[in-house]
Structure 1
């Protein structure tokens, strides 16, 4: 069990590192693209597509880690007004709703990937890119997010702190 938990935690952290690396790549690619244009050259199509795909991947691959770190946006005004016991119930209900939504999205994402595989769908722009390679992030990321939200449903800690303002 310990190995499974360690592997799972490593997966979520690894995807966050990939997500962060893609963010760095986006910065480099945009600067490079602007420099090319200013020098009178046309940026290559793969450079544009890699940033487009990168934004998609970094958003979904980093999302499970953000849930774990309580990094997603929520309205603190409401949670700060609740008593400790009401906050406990409210936070767990919100997380349960998130688990349900994430599970549905993961299931639908898996259906989409299967359809892409069955049909051999390709994203044909600068180069042929199998569509399933884009869409596989839906079932992976939403399954991991469902697990992370479920930890807040059944675990000792809750997602919402009940505090307002920046605590950094």
Structure 2
């Protein structure tokens, strides 16, 4: 069981690192495109397309880590006003709803990726890119987010701290 947990944790942190690398690539590709345009050179078509792909990947791959770190945006105005026992019930209920939504999106994402793979779909812009390589990020990310939200349903830690305002 410990090996499985270590592998899963490595997956979450590896995805977060890839998301960070995608953010760096987005910055580099944008700056390169702007500099090329300023020098009167047409930027490479693949530069813009790779930036678009990077936006998708950094969003999807970074999301499970954000759930783990409670980094997603949420407002604790209501939960801060609740007594601790009620706050725990509300927080676990919200986390359970998030598990259900993420599980459904992971399922539909898996169906989409399988359809793309079976059909041999390609994203055709700057170059032919197998579409399943893009859509495989949906079941992976939403599946991991379902697990992470599940930790707030069944674990000791709550999704909501009960502290309204900014605490960094």
Normalized against structure 1, the TM-score is what?
0.99
- Counting only pairs closer than 5 Å after superposition, residues 38-77 of structure 1 correspond to structure 2 as 38-77=38-77
Asked whether 1:157 is paired with 2:165, we answer no
- Counterpart CA distance in 1 for 2:106 and 2:28 is 32
* Cα shift at 1:166: 1.9
**Mean Cα displacement is larger for which, 158-167 or 93-102?**
158-167
Report the alpha carbon displacement of residue 24 of structure 1 after superposing the two structures with TM: 0.8
Deviations 1:83-109 (A, max 9, x none): 101110000000000000000000000
> Secondary structure of 1:33's match?
helix
Q: Distance in 2 between matches of 1:78 and 1:72?
A: 17
Measured in 2, the distance between the counterparts of 1:43 and 1:60 equals: 27
Distance 1:44 1:20 in 2: 23
Q: Give the Cα–Cα distance (whole angstroms) in 1 for the partners of residues 36 and 119 of structure 2.
A: 37
The equivalent residue for 1:99 is 99
Distance 2:108 2:166 in 1: 36
CA–CA separation in structure 2 for the residues paired with 1:66 and 1:31: 27
Task: Give distance in 1, aligned partners of 2:25 and 2:124.
Answer: 22
Query: Which segments of 5 or more consecutive residues in structure 1 lack a partner in the other structure?
Result: none
C-alpha separation between the residues in 1 aligned to 2:45 and 2:102?
Answer: 33
Whether 2:115 is the aligned partner of 1:118: answer no
Shift, 1:21, TM fit: 0.8
Q: CA deviation at 1:118?
A: 1.1
TM-score (norm 2): 0.99
**Contact preservation (8 Å) 2:13, 2:65:** yes
Aligned length: 168
Q: CA deviation at 1:46?
A: 0.3
Q: Which residues of structure 2 form unaligned runs of 5+?
A: none
For each residue in 1:31-68, what CA deviation from the matched residue of structure 2 results, as whole angstroms up to 9, or x when unmatched? 11100000000001100000000000000000000000
Partner of 2:145: 145
**Number of the residue aligned with 2:4:** 4
Structure 1 runs (4+) greater than 6 angstroms displaced: none
Q: Distance in 2 between matches of 1:85 and 1:103?
A: 27
